[in-house]
Every structure is written in C-alpha cells, then in structure tokens.
Amino acid sequence: MTEGPPAVQREPAKAAPLTPVPATWQAAPRLRRLATIGVAVVLLAVLTRRADLLLLGAPALAALAAARRGVRPETLDAAVTAAPLRCFEGEDVEIVATVAAPVDEVTFRIMPGPAVTIIDGPATQVAVAGQPASARWMLRPHAWGRHHLCTVTARCTDGMGQASLTLRPEQVEVFPHPPPARASLLPADLLRRIGEHTATASGAGIEFFGIRGYQPGDRLRDLNWAVTSRLGQPHVNQRAALRAADLVIMIDAFSDVGPPGDTTLDLAVRGAAGLATAYLRTGDRVGVVVLGGVLRWLAPSPGNRQFFKIVEMAFGVRFPSEAIPDLDRVPRTALPPRALVVLFSPLLDRRALNAVTDLRQRGVSLVIVDVLTREPPAEPRQPFTQLAVRLWRLDRGALRSGLTGLGVPVLRWDSEAGLEGTQAPLGGGGGAGALGRGGGVGAKLRGQRIRAVR
Amino acid sequence: MSGVDGTTRLPRLGDVITRLLTGCLGAGMILLPASHLTGSSRALAVLGLVLVAVSLAGPLARWRIVGTLAAATAVTEAALTRPDLASLAWEGLLILGYLLLVDAPRRMPGTVTAHWLWRQLPLAVWGVFTAAIVLVVLAVRVPVSAWLLVAGAGAAVAAVVIAMPRRSSEPREPR
C-alpha cells in the first residue's frame, strides 16, 4: 500500500502556440540619452559660438542616425507556458517564456506570485538577436489553489524603439500537500460495507472477537481447544468483522488569517487533504462540507478520484461571505447520521461555532481540529497588549473547555507536525469507557459515539 | 545584488566585464578634460566621477537620468576648458561609448554579453566615422559661419526625427 497522496498525472512540457500580443512601441532610453546629449551639445555650440564643441555630440548624433529604422509590428508573437498544470505544493513547475519577433534584444523578467519562490533561473534573463529569445525558470508554489504562478514581462528593444509585453501563463492547479495522518478516529457504528476497520460485531476478520458454543456449519479450525476441554462442550473462536466507515470533513472557510501560504484556511485544507488521503487509503468513504461562502458539499464516496474531487471543491473556498450556513440544506446523503464529522476550524467565527452546536444537537459524532497556530502579536514595551494577549488566551481556553463540555473534543494541530500527533490524545489506552469487544484499544469519548483506535 | 526570492546572487562575469568597460569609458570622459580645469570648476570632475560610479552600481543605478547627467557633466567640463580638436574628438567618442554601454542589460551570461557588445559595434563605427569627418571639416580653416552651426543643428534634429520610432500608417484592423 503506498503512502502519501494519489499521484497526479504529470503531462510533459509542450510548447504553447505563439499568440500575437499587442505591442506599444516607445522611444528606448538609449534614444533619449543620445538625443539629449546631442541636442545639448549643438545648442551649447550655437550659444557659445564654438563650432569645435560639435565634436562632442557628433558621434552620438551619428549613432542615432545609424540605428535601425522601419515600421515596427503592432503585435509580437509571444507565449509563456507552465508545466505541469497540476501539481502538489512544494513540487516544481517549469515556466518557459518565448518571444518570436525580429527584435534586437529581449529582456525577460519574472515576478512570482505570493507564496511562490524561484528555484532555478535568474529573475532577469536577456536574449539578443541571433539567439532563441526564450527564458526558463523553475518555480515552487507553497500555497494550494488554482492560480497564475507568475507574471513575465518581456521588454523588446529594436533599434531605438522599445515595447513591453506582459505575459501570464495558464492557471496551475496546486493541490494541498497532505500531512501524514492515520485513519484512527472512527464512529462507533461502522457501515455494513467491507473495509479495513475492526467492527464491534463478529464477522470474517482476523482479530479475536469472542467465544461461543459450536454450531453446525462452524469450521473445525475455529475450535478453541482449551475452552472446549475445560467445559466439555465444543466452543469456537469468533472474529471481529472488518467494516468501512464514513468520514465527513468540514472546512470552516469563514475566517482566513495568517501569512500567504500559511493561513488558517491553508492549514484547514491541507489537514482535510491529509485525513481524506488516510481514510480513502483504507477503503472508507469520505465526503466534505464547506462552511463559508456558499454552503457546498460532496457526498461520501470511496476511491482516489474522491481525493481530487474534494481538493477541487476546496479551490473555491477563498472568498469572503456574510452568509450564515444552514445545515438543514445539507442532504442526508452528504451528512450521513452514522458518519464521523471532523471540522477544521480556527474557531474564530461565531457562525462556525453555531454550526458546531447545531451538529451536536443532531447527535452527530464530531471532532474539531483547531488550526489557529499563531497568537496575536504582543508589543513587549506596551503592557496593555500583553494583557490583551493573556485575556485572548483565557478566552480561547474557555471556548475550548465549553466545546469539550458539549462533548466535542478539540484537537490542536501544529502545522509543523503531521496529523498523527494530533490524533494521539484521543488514542489513549482503555479507560473506564474502553470498548473491549472487537474494538482493540480505544476510548469512548465523552458523550459521543467515537472510537479512537491506536 | 539580491534576487527576487531574497537570495544573494554573485554578479556574472559578463556583467562585471560590461560594468568595468563602462566605468573606464565614463572615467575617461570625465578625466580627459579635467586636467584643464582650474579652481572651483574642478568640483565638476569629482561630481562627474560620482555620477559615473552611481550609474554603474548601487540603488540609484536604475535611474536612467544618472548616466545622462554624467555625460552632461563631461560636456560641461569640455565647454569650460579649451582643449584641442583631437581631445574633443576623443571626448565625443568616450561619451558615445559610455552612453551605449551604460544601457547594457544586467546579469547577462558571458556569451550573451559578447554577442551584445558585438551588436553595438556598428553604432560605434558610425560614431568614429562621423567624428573623423567633423574633425577634418573643423581642421580646415574657414571663417566662422552661423549658417554652419544652423546646418549642424538642423542635422541633429533630422537625426532625431529619423531615429524616432513611428507607427504604421495603415489603418488598424477593426477588432
């Protein structure tokens, strides 16, 4: 079984057809310089009545006159390509800019977008006539989304004229890089579909479930000889069934705070991708509900294809909205009653908290992953800001305690670590509420029908 | 120099050669008439050298007017002194060389730099040719004529008009 996200089909880099780009020709800086000096020298010679001073400006004027002239094209054929057009965060994308025009010199300059770094190739590249006018860079996007990775400016100089072209490559779909996660949180009631999770019912699995008396049809190799000899009656071992689970990932898109590429929404979508990868790998069904903007959902479904559906739905979450989500609009197929719901939220917006309360009142098994990793900045010289930060911490603590009292565990996720460490607190050994039968080692969470399996 | 991604990049060899050449030409155009300067006018030479240095490196290098000001300083120096015709011809050629090279694109690889310099050669040759013609014309003793100066001014204006980029006279296709 492979670790990591499903592979993206990487199409080979191919040359894009050149398209005519409108060019506005202007006087090149060299023309202005030479003309300024030439005219200034001639004026000086006239004013001072010194013809010998013409020797200072004559070469400059001659260079002006000797420069290539002629009608310049109104459009220049140019193109910029990005390959591949689909990748994961942290993977490299090749950008190639080409200008096919009879000009003396082309200066390419790339301006990468936010959360995009240049890995290879100088930001400014020059091509002179007689050489292929193209430039190549390798960029590395650090933020998921569907966006233009860069803008390329091509400054074409021809004789004493200059035109500047602005080129933008196609939009690249950057998928979030899923952090390592395990399918360790499970709803108490698993589905009737065959999966990889040990259910709390007997079946055809491999884990020990219990012992019962022999019945006609039982396989002889299941006989428990120790119990049979002690009780004098034939007894057989029962094994736990292997079932699949439904997971619904909720993304709170109401708030988005933090630096580009590392905002709370970035973390939420990365976490959702990691969890989806882990559960889809074990044959579970995964769905998604996006809170914020227009309420959108995707019904749980298995398979690698579902991963890309989830991520593509997440591409459209980045826009502000004042709408209040009405969870009644989410159909039963998208939010099955026996599903485990994991909400990725910074817990900053009241509407998301209201949605949590609503879900708990419906009896949905819910776990919250807090994706707010940064505190408000405190100015050390101003005591009031430090006091404000302390109050903010207390408020956050009270909020988390309130949610825990409501029966909703809140897990804090540091983006530096994988989700496995975040899930660990829920996987603590069998306590008072441990599920003994067929559940392996786990704990029943307060008031909720959730199992955390180690 | 610092890259867009914040990393510090060493200048390329071609870049160093171009700047060195430009610096030599710029220093030459400032220092050639400086020996004839007297008194406070020597400050012009210092100012010119500073402008040449600023036009080559530093945050002000991207201001194109700095190079023009450096060349204008050299012209002022030559106007204040009375060098001989040969010196003036050399001065004019140094100014042309400096103005051509100060526009060189930054961060060119060595091969591209050589190619770029090669493409500037025709302009320099035209400059030398013109300087030689003007030198010969001035060396011949003729009475000072305002008409000659007016003709020179006319030639300068004509050169600028000829070199200016022009738009196509054909009507644009409707979109």
Q: Among A123-127, A153-157, A375-379, B16-20, which is the least confidently predicted range?
A: A375-379
- Burial of residue A196 (CB within 10 Å: 0-12, 13-18, 19+) is middle
With respect to residue A56, please indicate whether it lies within any of the assigned structural domains: yes
Nearest CB to A33; choose among B3, B92, B99: B99
Peptide bond before B33: cis, by omega within 30 degrees of 0?
A: no
Which residue in B73, B85, B119, B126 has the most chain A C-beta atoms within 10 A of its own C-beta, making it the best mutation to test that interface?
B126
A216 and A349 part of one domain = no
By the CB < 8 Å criterion, does B60 face chain A?
no
Task: Specify the pLDDT at position B1.
Answer: 35
With respect to residue A6, please indicate whether it lies within any of the assigned structural domains: no
Q: Which residue has the higher pLDDT, A173 or B9?
A: A173
**Residues A195-203: what's their mean pLDDT?**
73
CB contacts of A118 in chain B (<8 Å) are 3-5
A353 and A255 part of one domain = yes
| Confidence category of residue A454, pLDDT binned at 50, 70, 90 | low
By the CB < 8 Å criterion, does B120 face chain A?
no
Instruction: Identify the CATH number of the domain in which residue A78 sits.
Output: 2.60.40.10
Which residue in A25, A55, A74, A162 has the most chain B C-beta atoms within 10 A of its own C-beta, making it the best mutation to test that interface?
A55
The C-alpha atoms of residue B93 and residue A143 are separated, in whole angstroms, by: 54
By the CB < 8 Å criterion, does B8 face chain A?
no
β-strand A134-141 against A116-120: which pairing, if any? antiparallel
Nearest CB to A123; choose among B3, B96, B172: B3
Task: Specify the pLDDT at position A12.
Answer: 56
- What's the whole-number average pLDDT of chain B? 82
A332 and A440 part of one domain = yes
Task: Specify the pLDDT at position A377.
Answer: 80
With respect to residue A187, please indicate whether it lies within any of the assigned structural domains: no
A130 and A266 part of one domain = no
A228 and A342 part of one domain = no
A85 and A163 part of one domain = yes
A158 and A171 part of one domain = yes
A95 and A231 part of one domain = no
Task: Specify the pLDDT at position A9.
Answer: 61
- pLDDT tens-digit map of A360-372: 888 888 889 998 8
Q: In what order do the strands lie in the sheet with A161-167?
A: A26-27, A161-167, A150-158, A105-112, A124-128
- Reduced to 3 states, what is the DSSP secondary structure of residue A302? coil
By the CB < 8 Å criterion, does B103 face chain A?
yes
Which residue in A48, A118, A119, A128 has the most chain B C-beta atoms within 10 A of its own C-beta, making it the best mutation to test that interface?
A128
CA distance B159 to chain A (A): 5
What pTM, to 2 d.p., does this model score?
0.70
Q: Which residue has the tokens 């929404």?
A: A265
Task: Specify the pLDDT at position A235.
Answer: 92
| Confidence category of residue A220, pLDDT binned at 50, 70, 90 | confident
Nearest CB to B165; choose among A25, A36, A66: A25
With respect to residue A192, please indicate whether it lies within any of the assigned structural domains: no
**Residues A284-308: what's their mean pLDDT?**
85
Q: Answer whether B163 sits within 8 Å of A35, measured CB to CB.
A: yes
A2-16, A151-165, A322-336, B52-66, range with greatest mean pLDDT? A151-165
CB contacts of B119 in chain A (<8 Å) are 104-105, 128-129
A293 and A427 part of one domain = yes
Q: Among A261-270, A332-341, B119-128, which is the least confidently predicted range?
A: A332-341
A40 and A154 part of one domain = no
A272 and A398 part of one domain = yes
Instruction: Determine the structural domain holding residue A274 and report its residue range.
Output: 244-452
A:B CB pairs within 8 Å? 196
The fraction of chain A above a pLDDT of 90, given in percent, is 19
Instruction: Answer whether residue A13 shows pLDDT above 70.
Output: no
- pLDDT tens-digit map of B41-84: 788 899 999 999 998 887 777 788 899 999 999 999 998 888 88
A229 and A254 part of one domain = no
Give the count of domains, chain A.
Answer: 4
By the CB < 8 Å criterion, does B130 face chain A?
yes
The C-alpha atoms of residue A412 and residue B132 are separated, in whole angstroms, by: 81
With respect to residue A184, please indicate whether it lies within any of the assigned structural domains: no
- pLDDT tens-digit map of A318-357: 765 666 666 666 777 778 877 889 999 999 888 888 888 8
- For A43, A230, A249, A311, A330, the CA distances from A336, given in Å and listed in that order, are 87, 46, 12, 21, 10
**Residues A426-449: what's their mean pLDDT?**
40
